[in-house]
Amino acid sequence: MHGGSDTTVLPLESHIAFESLRRLGKEVEYIEYGGEEHVPSQWSYPNQVDYCERIISWFDKNLKGIPHPTE
């Protein structure tokens, strides 16, 4: 997950990491929040909620074995 307007860590760095993992056959997801900067706590409220829900979903799936609602 990355803010699309991040100037601290450019989104390109996340794109490179995502593509590298994908090419290695790893399960990976990437989402970019357009117009958002580096710090999620300063993002718009809807994007903060989406960000948190995605993190909780990842932990549920990968630590508790609970499938994601879209699976």
Asked, for residue 30, whether it belongs to a domain, the answer is: yes
% of the chain exceeding 70 in pLDDT: 94
- Report the pLDDT averaged over residues 39-56: 96
Position 69 in a domain:
no
Q: Indicate the number of domains in the chain.
A: 1
Domain assignment of residue 71, yes or no: no
Cα–Cα distance for residue pair 66/46, rounded to 1 Å = 24
pLDDT at 71: 56
Query: Quick one: tokens of 44?
Result: 């718009």
Integer angstrom CA distances of residue 35 from 24, 28, 71: 30, 23, 29
Model pTM score: 0.82
Q: Is the pLDDT of residue 67 over 80?
A: no
Look up the domain containing 34 and give its range.
2-64
Q: How far is CA 66 from the centre of its chain?
A: 19
Mean pLDDT of 34-50: 97
